[in-house]
Amino acid sequence: MVTSVGLLFHALTVDSVMAVIFFIVALYIGFLLYQFHNGNNGFSVVDLLMENGKASTTRFSFMVALVVSTWAFVELTLSGKLSEWYFTGYMVSWVAAKLGSQYLNKE
């Protein structure tokens, strides 16, 4: 006789468990950002998108790129298609963006 608990465990795969864990972690990070934003610690989520009190296309672009590339990174990991080239490209792109940003801000 098959029970509903047995069917649940049969339906769970490593990918689905990892997706659920990722979703829970993302919700927790969102909750922490919300808590920090509403606290008296001087942090505002809006500061992630603004520079000197004005909307910044650079910061907005970085945040969008961070979200999209991280989603792609996680998707490749969950599907088992993440290779060292994808990982290296992900890391190099963020290091190059940070170094480029520092270089442009010096001038």
- Same domain flag for 50 and 79: yes
Specify the number of domains making up the chain. 2
Residue 78 burial by Cβ neighbours in a 10 Å radius (0-12, 13-18, 19+): middle
**Residue 25 domain boundaries:** 1-43
- Same domain flag for 70 and 30: no
- Same domain flag for 3 and 50: no
- Same domain flag for 14 and 32: yes
- Same domain flag for 96 and 49: yes
**pLDDT values of the chain reduced to their tens digit, one per residue, 107 residues:** 455 555 555 666 766 777 788 788 889 988 888 887 787 777 777 777 788 878 888 788 788 888 888 888 888 887 888 888 888 888 888 788 778 877 777 65
- Same domain flag for 29 and 67: no
- Same domain flag for 7 and 51: no
pLDDT of residue 58: 77
Q: Provide the whole-model pTM.
A: 0.58
- 94 CB-side CA count, 13 A: 14
CB 44 within 8 A of CB 68: no
